Amino acid sequence: MFLALKIDVDTWRGTREGVPALVEALQRHQAGATFLFSLGPDHTGRAIRRVFRPGFLSKVSRTSVVEHYGIRTLLYGTLLPGPDIGRREAALMRQVRDVGFEVGIHTWDHIRWQDHVAEKDPAWTAREMRLATERFIEIFATPPRTHGAAGWQMNTAAYALEKELGFDYASDGRGTHPFQPVDAHGTPLGVPQLPTTLPTLDELIGADGLTPENVHEHLLALTAAEPCAHGHVYTLHAELEGMKLRPTFERLLAGWRKQGYRLISTRELFTSLNAATLPRHRVMMGEIPGRSGTLALQGEVCTL
């Protein structure tokens, strides 16, 4: 049984503090993973605009945003200038690759993508993706091969650009199993998708009596009861599992190993599949429990 670990790195602090801690933990547990980096400016403070979204304040109160991200990070892009993550941490990012982990693109500007891409046009989308791609090549001296959208936010142009930019596969949304996205007419769109199949810690903690001390039991119960024939994808965050919630994550790693899962990168999961035979699904925007707003979801199967 496969369980792929996808690590979203959203902030400068998450990069310089959370990433090294995760590398150490993963190596100790003999686990693979894919690190997806934010490569441009850290404008985390601009997320304050989300205060008017339904459910946002309840999520903030449940997940202790200040505790996990820190006051300074929450001021970047407003009262403090946003540090350029890719320029400051290029050497660290290369170290992650050099010790054997897959690396890919999360975004250029995390907040700008997450808050705006769903409503933006192809030109805006192409600019953001090309900025991230050019910075990735600058850092790693090779083109990126995978992408995982910030906040699981996408638009039609972004799916098409993934193929144009040479990605092999992506993990941009939420769903139940790998698939080939198609447009409204059933025409293949972009590259194969490996959606996140499990809930994230920030969606669970604070709900239904779940705490950092017991949330791992809930997730382990899900993977024990619902082993996925094509493998699970679990998304973690450098700012959470790499910092305050690292003990929780280590309990998950040990539990998944005990359940018989191979902990791998999303790349390894992708190469285990026959992309030509993947089911075709439309993509849609919708809501999931524990997360405010809408996000990209695996939609209905296309039989055309």
Instruction: Name residue 146's beta-bridge partners.
Output: 169
> In this structure, is residue 288 part of a structural domain?
no
How far apart, in whole angstroms, are the C-alpha atoms of residue 37 and residue 280?
28
> In this structure, is residue 204 part of a structural domain?
no
Name the pLDDT band for 77 (thresholds 50, 70, 90): low
Average pLDDT of the chain to the nearest whole number = 91
> In this structure, is residue 102 part of a structural domain?
yes
Reference 284, options 174, 188, 150, 192; nearest CA is 174
Domain count, the chain: 1
> In this structure, is residue 201 part of a structural domain?
no
End-to-end CA distance of the chain: 31
Q: What pLDDT digit, counting tens, does each position of 3-52 carry? A: 999 999 999 999 999 999 999 999 999 999 999 999 999 988 866 554 44
The SS3 of residue 301 is strand
> In this structure, is residue 250 part of a structural domain?
yes
Q: Which domain holds residue 95?
A: 2-150+210-274
> In this structure, is residue 81 part of a structural domain?
yes
> In this structure, is residue 287 part of a structural domain?
no
Q: What pLDDT digit, counting tens, does each position of 86-101 carry? A: 999 999 999 999 999 9
Q: How many residues does the chain have?
A: 304
Interacting residues of 25 by C-beta distance below 8 A, sequence separation 6+: 246, 249, 250, 253
Structure-token pair, residue 39: 């490569």
Q: What is the CATH number of the domain that holds 140?
A: 3.20.20.370
Reference 85, options 110, 48, 68; nearest CA is 110
How far apart, in whole angstroms, are the C-alpha atoms of residue 177 and residue 230?
6
How far apart, in whole angstroms, are the C-alpha atoms of residue 24 and residue 136?
23
Residue 248: is its pLDDT beyond 50?
yes
Instruction: Name residue 242's beta-bridge partners.
Output: none
> In this structure, is residue 219 part of a structural domain?
yes
